[in-house]
A and B are shown apart, each in its own frame.
Chain A
Amino acid sequence: MTAIVSIKGLRKAYASGMEALKGVDLDIEEGEILALLGPNGAGKTTLISTICGITMPTSGSITVGGHDTLKGYRGARQLIGLVPQEISLEPFETVWSSVSFSRGLFGKRRDDAKIEAILRQLSLWDKRDAKTMELSGGMKRRVLIAKALSHEPRVLFLDEPTAGVDVELRKDMWETVAQLKADGVTIILTTHYIEEAEAIADRVGVISGGRLLLVEEKAALMQRMGRKTLSIELTEPLEEIPDSLGLYDLEFGPDKTSLLYTYDRNAERTGIARLIGDLTEAGIVLSDIATSQSSLEEIFVGLVKEDGA
């Protein structure tokens, strides 16, 4: 795999003195979907803005497709599409002219068929002659995506693309992202919705306080950090958990006919076998057992807490 975006020792201090990035190193591989997770103010937007040329780095270097983003900004920016976090559109322009403008700005030859295809894919075709100010928030977000795609970028940045967007649109966007990935576009998205990263990312980066805490394959991350829950269905409800089972830290499920046992799947001993033995000994009859993986969200909250400690 080759890195299409390569970031080395990137620092950014705003004029206010606020140090938003405190030395970020990151290689983004061509064709992957990378999700950047982090709480508000972590530096996600600053990172993206610096790669795209909207903010100036204080130190460090960035290359996109081998082009330095300062010295070779034309080559670098040519490859990049950006969907910003804030919705901003020329209010009096139509969808069509707004998207066509973006293509022109990137120096691409006029191609009405291409613009039509993008608008159709994003369900904007019917709205092509509408002024952008007449559109709903979700539709505006789609226009921003259409603008970013208009010049056929190789790398697409989506800064919280589904914030405040309804479920249907979110699904649509995920489909669009999957389609783009199939076309070989590298996608970097920031999000608050962990399930988004979980659903579509190949790798997940966790950023907090201007530092990239880790970047890992999503599956590996979940495995490494993953805690699992064993839920045990009982044939008869229990009044209370017997003292003999105290060391397992059991909890009741939604009602008293199930018990929940949380364990670290990577631990040498999960304790499951012994627990089942002890349950039988206590005279509790099981009807069923099931395991579930903890979500990225739980993993993420754990990581950020660790960082803060």
Chain B
Amino acid sequence: MTAYQESRSVRPVLPVGRGELSHAVIAALAGGRPLAAGTETVRADPYGDDLQLALYVLYELHYQGFAGVDDEREWDPELLEFRRVLEQRFLESLRCQVRSASSLEEALAALLVEPVVADHEDAGVSHHLQREGSLENLREYAALRSLYHLKEADPHAWVLPRLYGRAKAAMAAVEFDEFGAGRAQDLHARLYADLMEDLSLDIGYGRYLDAAPAEELATVNQMSLFGLHRSLRGALVGHFAAVEATSSPGSRRLAQAMRRTGAGPAAERFYDEHVEADAVHEQIVRRDVIGGLLADEPQLEADIAFGIESTKFLEDRLGAHLLHAWRGNRSALRRPLNSVLPTP
């Protein structure tokens, strides 16, 4: 019997640039050179392919790195300075976008109701996939979401040293569950790799980065941004609450989609596990992580709400992109899956 080959045992290759900013970052990393001076950032679309990919590549240095890139580039001051400019642009846009922000109480209450959606009505991505998603739609969805799920719960672990007391104990307990509760084969990232195998996708880490549209990159960049900055610990916790609270009902719909299309037992298991786990996680995050953090640092209330609302904003943008493509019978990816050949 051969040993299980982990998704992350391979070093991903650098992606293909999507514009001036991402080209500059990728060239600097590929060539082991300093960043080319004078790269123009002021006019870049904060949600566009170019800025989001540049940011994604820079953040990835903190997770897994890239083949042929020195691990020390993670702390290259020029790259960090450039990242700072890009992430400030992204963060400022998010803050403007959700400026109308409701109170934390309202933001949380909105997470805890389920919209009633009649059969003929338009709804979110999980409703669409549950009702009429094809196996090919599900494969695209899984490929795109693999950018996060193959490192599931990793960006949230960065918040742990910034918390203490009740908030820390609760956050660590939920993360323990995400990391398989002591069993490598139950790591949620591993359950996701198993789901990908059922869907005949390549589980190699970073394999679908070139295929992922900017809308997906932005959702992952948001977590990295909130996770890496202590100043954004409130936003990170808000983001986590939004993910955990919306996951259980969404996972039920996706589990049904996997069953309906006969995707396979591991594909069903990933979502079945999240129906039950995230019903628990939502309670813990709301009562003890948010409750504990607010008791310690009440000034973070607005940032927790910002984390919730900005997550909804970016998820809605991604959902609109996916549904628009699928309803038009087009691929939602930048490269159709059949052009992504399995790694030898």
The yes or no verdict on A and B being binding partners is no
Interface residues, chain B, with chain A CB atoms under 8 Å away: none
Interface residues, chain A, with chain B CB atoms under 8 Å away: none
